[in-house]
Structure 1
Amino acid sequence: MAVKKAGYIEKFLKKADKALQEGVKRADEALEDAVEFGTMTAKQAAQASKELRSQAKKERAELKKRGVKKITEGITAAKNVTSSTEEDLATLEKLGKLRKSGVITEKEFQAKKKKILGKI
């Protein structure tokens, strides 16, 4: 019976060795798939990152452009207000001179003055 037991153990060890070899082979295949998937994911991540950076640059440029436009509009509006105010004050001076010289009446002067000061 010792011979039968020895043969049985040998068969068992061969089956175990074969199963281990298949397990190692499957593990290697899974590892290769994981590496390939990881590489693909890394490439996809790099592409997505590149696209996002490009989009961010475009949006930054657009925001900068709009910001500069708004600032320019603000400066223009401020200049116009200043110019208008200066022009209105000059007009008031001229109206004052016209009133003093009798070209317009006090009532006309006050009406124009009220209108001009209402804009300021």
Structure 2
Amino acid sequence: MRDKHKAALDEIIARVNQLFIGELTEGDKLLYVNNAIKGKLLECETLIEQAVNNTKEQFGNSPDLDARILDAVMDALSAFTSMSRQALESERIRAEIKSILLGPGRLYELLRQQRSPSVSDA
């Protein structure tokens, strides 16, 4: 199951890399498509109903899907812009983000895991 999940993420990354240009990391692109956009679409009752009651091809041809993707893009822009603006304007919010990243976000531990085991901590 883990290999299937990794293969799906690898395919998403490869395909999204072909879509966007500019100073964007693979992580930026993956977060945008696989989390922000897909997350919004997964909340849509209309799309849930259509997925349950149609073939994948029929679902893919739905004008509702196209409209909801556009809505999700606009919602993501609004949400990320709002959160970024708030974080830029508030030292308290940045401090809390730092606390979350160092606590449950496990930033320190994950960064240490990025280092190859053959490299010393010198």
Does the alignment reach a TM-score above 0.5? no
- The structure having more radius of gyration, on CA atoms, is 1
Query: Hey, which of these two has a bigger chunk of helix by percent?
Result: 1
TM-score range (shorter-chain normalised) is: under 0.3
